[in-house]
Amino acid sequence: MFLRLDHQPLHELAGVEDSDAASLVRWIKEQVLPGLPLLDRIDLFETPACGAILAWGGDGPALVI
């Protein structure tokens, strides 16, 4: 999956609605969840103060941000 994202135009990825952080974390979840069934959170930041966090599962986020 890394090679599909690294230095590639994000708007050309099949299945990505928009090339924003929120769309990308949803796409990443779909791609990696079958191989990482215990994964329950993805943090993706474009800059230190700008990005998206996607959390699912019963326990909720481990850290309040």
- Determine the pLDDT at residue 5: 80
- Determine the pLDDT at residue 60: 60
5-23 per-position pLDDT tens digit: 888 888 888 888 888 899 9
Inform me whether the pLDDT recorded for 64 exceeds 60: no
Q: Residue for token digits 């990443």? A: 28
| Beta-strand runs (E) in 1-65 | 41-47, 50-55
| Rounded Cα–Cα distance for residues 56 and 41 (Å) | 6
For range 33-60, the mean pLDDT = 88
